[in-house]
């Protein structure tokens, strides 16, 4: 094979592609690329549609992680021929995937993110649709690798599935180039996970080295890079000392790709720094602040507010945590707790919650309407009434603030997951106003509280999921809760209509896996 000039591929860019892994001629005899893998149902549907529609594509990341990718445990990075990008996106949509745009500071014009929900497994599948090969720091892919046509033309079919993937030599070339461009201590995300990043590249190289011939790899690398770079690259992958001469190889790779940089050195560093600050702020917000500020990926067409309601013991907290874990790794999720129990209170309510143990000792009997403790049928005492008036006022302020924050987050593209939701349809229900329990509460204070709960009616959630269970079941789960109050609250929760919202009832007596499957399906249909 004659060596091509730098940057020019000798592999034909036409439709002919190798369907057998061995047919590429780049494996050692007897080598086998990967073990048999059964993709999830949603991915099988997608790959079959791509094959039927003759989409020119291939999976262009490590074959070592292919099992995790097809099981939905890792992202599927697909390189698609630019002329096929719109058909590829249309097929993704027809198969049930949805386009989730990244925030401006993490966006790249050559990469689109599609998410799909595989109902049988309960997993969210993430497909990165690449129209160009780009590499660089995690927050700023500053280099284009102009080899898309050659990569697609030499792709091979996975022996046990319909997925097209890289031939080993191309995978090795891309692996070495990506290591040179991505494994940088100036990258905040990579630096934070430095040891894991090194181990990933080392494991990928080891998995490839035993299946490659050094001379063939050198020839393949020379199709993309200058000859001195190609020789050093082949030695770094197949030589006796892995990644030997890595610093020099990095300099040569950057030299060969200098014309394909997206930003100059100064602008790239400035942009990378700004994005790192935004990434750090987003991480702090996700973990601690929970402000309505998107930081990663927004829901298509705007966000939504999902409220999970139910009587104590119905599993609200468990389901809410599971939904956050399910969605939070892919979409910007804003959690909100509208109750006063074990959830996270606002700074406004926190001092009163810290004083609750003291008040509990002072007030041994609680008036009718309370749920826990010794409940009395007598009217509230003056002492209890004064405490309840203060509590209800602070709670009204907190609910008003959280309602506004929830709908701001939704308007900015976030998925807001609310544990409980305020309502004024039924004052007897525990998410309703509290002052109607007091006969002597001032009128102006009642009106102040009523306005806060009326705001919940003006800002209804998009989806209400009622976790419903019989009073007898809830009494077994919450033995310290008054059984009469349980029955009243079950009836009250069932009567709540939440005008303007889509209301769905889910049987909370089912096994948790079935409850979660039903809840996930309803939420996915809203996105």
CATH number for position 420: 3.40.50.300
Q: How many CB atoms lie within 10 A of CB 131?
A: 21
Tens digits of residue pLDDT in 248-303: 999 999 999 999 999 999 999 999 999 999 999 999 999 999 999 999 999 998 99
The whole-angstrom separation of Cα 236 and Cα 96 is 42
The answer to whether residue 470 is domain-embedded is yes
329: pLDDT strictly greater than 50 = yes
Residue-level pLDDT at 34: 44
The answer to whether residue 125 is domain-embedded is yes
Three-state DSSP at 413 gives coil
Model confidence at 505, pLDDT cuts 50, 70, 90, reads: very high
Q: Give how many domains the chain has, as a whole number.
A: 2
Alpha helices (H) in 290-381, listed in sequence order: 316-328, 350-354, 356-362
Tens digits of residue pLDDT in 49-62: 999 999 999 999 99
Residue-level pLDDT at 383: 77
Contacts of 251 (CB under 8 A, 6+ apart): none
The whole-angstrom separation of Cα 232 and Cα 244 is 8
Of 166, 188, 215, the residue that ends a domain is: 166
| 480 vs 127, more confident | 127
Neighbour-count burial of 406, counting CB atoms closer than 10 A to its CB (0-12 exposed, 13-18 middle, 19+ buried): buried
Q: Could you give the percent of the chain with pLDDT greater than 70?
A: 88
The answer to whether residue 487 is domain-embedded is yes
| 373 vs 500, more confident | 500
CATH code (residue 152): 3.30.460
139: pLDDT strictly greater than 50 = yes
> For strand 304-309 and strand 415-419, is the pairing parallel, antiparallel, or unpaired?
parallel
28: pLDDT strictly greater than 50 = no
| Beta carbons of 477 and 294 less than 8 angstroms apart | no
| Beta carbons of 314 and 469 less than 8 angstroms apart | yes
Of 166, 198, 219, the residue that ends a domain is: 166
Model confidence at 14, pLDDT cuts 50, 70, 90, reads: very low
Tens digits of residue pLDDT in 263-274: 999 999 999 999
Residue-level pLDDT at 30: 36
From residue 82, give the alpha-carbon distance in Å to each of 99, 110, 129, 152, 360.
Answer: 18, 10, 11, 11, 67
Residue-level pLDDT at 10: 34
The answer to whether residue 282 is domain-embedded is no
Q: Please state the pTM of the whole predicted model.
A: 0.88
| Beta carbons of 204 and 237 less than 8 angstroms apart | no
Tens digits of residue pLDDT in 451-495: 999 999 999 999 999 999 999 999 999 998 888 889 989 999 999
Rounded mean pLDDT of 503-514?
97
Range of the domain at 501: 298-526
Of 166, 201, 231, the residue that ends a domain is: 166
Rounded mean pLDDT of 333-342?
90
Rounded mean pLDDT of 512-525?
97
438: pLDDT strictly greater than 60 = yes
Residue-level pLDDT at 494: 94
Phi, psi of 293 (to 5 degrees): -130, 110
26: pLDDT strictly greater than 50 = no
Q: Could you give the percent of the chain with pLDDT greater than 90?
A: 76
The answer to whether residue 70 is domain-embedded is yes
The whole-angstrom separation of Cα 226 and Cα 309 is 63
Model confidence at 27, pLDDT cuts 50, 70, 90, reads: very low
Lowest mean pLDDT, pick from 21-30, 304-313, 426-435: 21-30
The whole-angstrom separation of Cα 231 and Cα 218 is 6
The whole-angstrom separation of Cα 154 and Cα 170 is 8
Residue-level pLDDT at 344: 76
Phi, psi of 57 (to 5 degrees): -155, 170
The answer to whether residue 149 is domain-embedded is yes
Rounded to the nearest integer, the mean pLDDT of the chain is 89
Contacts of 258 (CB under 8 A, 6+ apart): none
Residue-level pLDDT at 428: 65
Lowest mean pLDDT, pick from 63-72, 74-83, 479-488: 479-488
> For strand 374-375 and strand 365-366, is the pairing parallel, antiparallel, or unpaired?
parallel
| 255 vs 364, more confident | 255
Most confident of 255-264, 367-376, 434-443: 255-264
| Beta carbons of 374 and 310 less than 8 angstroms apart | no
Rounded mean pLDDT of 417-432?
88
From residue 1, give the alpha-carbon distance in Å to each of 9, 10, 146, 220.
Answer: 12, 9, 21, 10
The answer to whether residue 119 is domain-embedded is yes
Q: Which residue do the tokens 């990663």 mark?
A: 296
H-helix or E-strand containing 495?
helix 483-495
Most confident of 31-45, 343-357, 472-486: 472-486
Lowest mean pLDDT, pick from 151-155, 170-174, 268-272, 391-395: 391-395
The answer to whether residue 157 is domain-embedded is yes
Residue-level pLDDT at 2: 37
Residue-level pLDDT at 13: 34
> For strand 374-375 and strand 111-118, is the pairing parallel, antiparallel, or unpaired?
unpaired
Q: Do residues 350 and 492 both lie within one domain?
A: yes
Residue-level pLDDT at 373: 53
Residue-level pLDDT at 5: 34
Residue-level pLDDT at 161: 84
The whole-angstrom separation of Cα 428 and Cα 399 is 17
The whole-angstrom separation of Cα 176 and Cα 233 is 7
24: pLDDT strictly greater than 50 = no
């Amino acid at each position: 094979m004659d060596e091509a000039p730098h940057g020019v591929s000798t592999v034909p860019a036409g439709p002919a592609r190798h369907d057998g892994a061995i047919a590429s001629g780049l494996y050692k005899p007897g080598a086998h690329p990967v073990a048999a893998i059964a993709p999830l149902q949603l991915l099988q549907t997608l790959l079959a549609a791509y094959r039927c529609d003759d989409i020119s594509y291939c999976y262009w990341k490590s074959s070592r992680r292919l099992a995790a990718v097809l099981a939905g445990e890792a992202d599927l990075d697909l390189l698609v021929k630019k002329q096929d990008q719109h058909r590829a996106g249309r097929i993704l949509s027809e198969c049930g995937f949805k386009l989730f745009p990244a925030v401006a500071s993490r966006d790249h014009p050559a990469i689109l993110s599609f998410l799909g929900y595989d109902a049988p497994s309960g997993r969210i599948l993430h497909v990165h649709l690449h129209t160009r090969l780009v590499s660089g720091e995690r927050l700023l892919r500053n280099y284009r690798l102009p080899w898309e046509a050659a990569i697609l033309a030499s792709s091979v079919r996975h022996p046990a599935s319909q997925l097209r993937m890289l031939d080993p030599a191309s995978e090795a070339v891309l692996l070495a180039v990506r290591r040179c461009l991505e494994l940088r201590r100036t990258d905040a995300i990579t630096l934070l996970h430095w040891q894991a990043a090194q181990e990933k590249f080392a494991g990928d190289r080891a998995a490839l080295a035993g299946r490659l011939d050094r001379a063939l790899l050198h020839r393949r690398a020379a199709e993309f890079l200058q000859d001195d770079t190609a020789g050093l690259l082949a030695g770094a992958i197949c030589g006796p000392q892995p990644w030997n001469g890595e610093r020099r190889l990095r300099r040569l790779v950057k030299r060969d790709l200098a014309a394909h940089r997206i930003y100059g050195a100064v602008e790239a560093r400035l942009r990378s720094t700004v994005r790192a600050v935004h990434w750090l702020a987003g991480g702090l917000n996700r973990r601690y602040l929970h402000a309505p500020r998107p930081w990663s990926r927004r829901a298509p067409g705007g966000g939504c507010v999902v409220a999970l309601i139910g009587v104590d013991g119905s599993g609200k907290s468990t389901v809410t945590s599971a939904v956050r874990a399910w969605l939070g790794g892919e979409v910007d999720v804003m959690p909100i707790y509208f109750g006063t129990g074990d959830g996270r209170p606002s700074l406004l309510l926190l001092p009163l919650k810290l004083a609750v143990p003291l008040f509990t000792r002072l007030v041994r009997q609680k008036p009718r309407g309370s749920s826990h403790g010794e409940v009395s049928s007598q009217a509230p005492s003056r002492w209890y009434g004064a405490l309840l008036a203060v509590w209800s006022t602070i709670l009204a302020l907190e609910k008003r603030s959280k309602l506004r924050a929830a709908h701001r987050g939704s308007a900015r593209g976030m998925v807001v997951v609310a544990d409980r939701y305020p309502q004024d349809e039924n004052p007897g229900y525990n998410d309703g106003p509290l002052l109607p329990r007091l006969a002597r509460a001032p009128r102006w204070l009642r009106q102040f509280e009523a306005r806060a709960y009326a705001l919940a009616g003006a800002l209804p959630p998009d989806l209400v999921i009622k976790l419903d269970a019989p009073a007898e079941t809830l009494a077994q789960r919450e033995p310290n809760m008054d059984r009469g109050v349980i029955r009243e609250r079950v009836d009250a929760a069932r009567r709540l209509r939440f005008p303007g919202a889509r209301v769905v009832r889910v049987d909370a007596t089912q096994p948790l896996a079935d409850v979660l499957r039903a809840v996930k399906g309803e939420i996915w249909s809203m996105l």
